[in-house]
Amino acid sequence: MTPAEIARIAGIASELGARRVKLTGGEPLLRQDITEIVRLLRERRAIEEISVVTNGTLLTHLLATSLKRNRLARVNINIPG
């Protein structure tokens, strides 16, 4: 899916009452456009919180800073055990 398609689906969900979006499934940080996705989701005024679930291996300082700049609210890191 393109970032615009993801934002469109989230926009429709927000019209139906969804207020939080969690990006998960596989490893979302593998997407080179993850910060664009977060930015587009943040433009949807009804969406109050955006979070990402990751294993953390790709979460560099640069990427974390970029995601924070685009107002990502939360990062859940799953550590396999």
pLDDT band at residue 81, thresholds of 50, 70 and 90?
Answer: confident
Domains of the chain are 3-77 (3.40.50.1100)
* pTM metric for this prediction: 0.91
Distances (CA, A) of 28 to 16, 21, 46, 55: 24, 13, 22, 9
Mean pLDDT of the residues in the chain: 95
Average pLDDT over residues 48-70: 95
Tokens of 40: 């587009």
Q: Do 36 and 60 touch, CB atoms closer than 8 A?
A: no
**Percentage of the chain surpassing pLDDT 70?**
100
Q: Given this model, what pLDDT does residue 58 score?
A: 93
Q: Which residue has the tokens 């596989």?
A: 26
Please tell me the number of Cα atoms within 13 Å of 45 on its side-chain side.
Answer: 0
Question: Residue 17 above 80 pLDDT?
Answer: yes
Tokens of 20: 């939080």
Question: Residue 80 above 80 pLDDT?
Answer: no
Average pLDDT over residues 55-71: 94
